[in-house]
């Protein structure tokens, strides 16, 4: 559904309610000391998963991936590194369909897939702010059209201007 019309107070309420739900879950179920990172729809934490799910149930937050709007337990990890918003790496201890441990997983906003794979091969120590990685394509105008050239992608801190 696409529409240019929207009711701003309702949109504000929905996002505020989601934020409140996220923060209540972090504070009252996960615990601030075990909290590692969150995004708009996810929480990464350390500690006993069953205990955290039990705490979530106590405050009315349930884990059920089959119900829209409920939490889902998506991954298990034993190492986690955060560089900033939308920039984190973890060692996924879940197994794939063949029974192999999934291993390093990297989320970095704007990072091309080839560069992501390269950093994962290099490991945790090679995921840092300021790192330059090959693999980004940039469009350059030339007479008669455009060329795609290889440039480095730099992992940098996201700055928001107000």
Beta strands in the chain (DSSP E): 35-39, 42-45, 77-84, 87-95, 101-108, 132-142, 145-154
Q: State residue 33's pLDDT score.
A: 95
Q: State residue 159's pLDDT score.
A: 62
Compute the average pLDDT of residues 32-58.
92
3-state class (DSSP) for residue 26: helix
* CA nearest neighbour of 150 among 132, 135, 160: 135
Q: State residue 1's pLDDT score.
A: 56
Contact 68, 84 (CB under 8 A): no
What phi and psi values does residue 156 have, to the nearest 5 degrees? -135, 165
The tokens describing 138, both together, are: 């940039």
Compute the average pLDDT of residues 101-106.
89
Neighbour tally for 75: CB within 10 Å: 13
The DSSP code for 27 is I
Which residues contact residue 72 at a Cβ distance below 8 angstroms, ignoring those fewer than 6 apart?
63, 64, 65
For the cut 90, the answer to whether the pLDDT of residue 3 exceeds it is no
pTM for the whole structure? 0.78
| pLDDT, tens digit, 9 for 90 and up, residues 80-102 | 999 988 899 999 888 888 988 88
Contact 46, 52 (CB under 8 A): no
Q: What is the mean pLDDT of the chain?
A: 89
């Amino acid at each position: 559904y696409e529409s240019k019309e929207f009711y701003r107070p309702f949109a504000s309420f929905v996002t505020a309610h989601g934020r409140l739900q996220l923060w209540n879950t972090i504070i009252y179920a996960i615990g601030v000391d075990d909290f590692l990172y969150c995004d708009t729809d996810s929480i990464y934490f350390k500690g006993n998963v069953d205990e955290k799910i039990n705490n979530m149930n106590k405050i009315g937050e349930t884990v059920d991936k089959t119900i829209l709007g409920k939490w889902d337990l998506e991954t298990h990890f034993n190492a986690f590194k955060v560089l900033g918003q939308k920039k984190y790496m973890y060692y996924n201890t879940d197994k794939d369909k063949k029974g192999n441990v999934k291993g390093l997983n990297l989320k970095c906003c704007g990072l091309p897939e080839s560069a992501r794979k390269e950093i994962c091969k290099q490991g945790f120590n090679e995921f840092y702010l300021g790192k330059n990685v090959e693999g980004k394509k940039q469009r350059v105008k030339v007479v008669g059209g455009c060329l795609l050239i290889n440039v480095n992608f730099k992992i940098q801190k996201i700055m928001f201007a107000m």
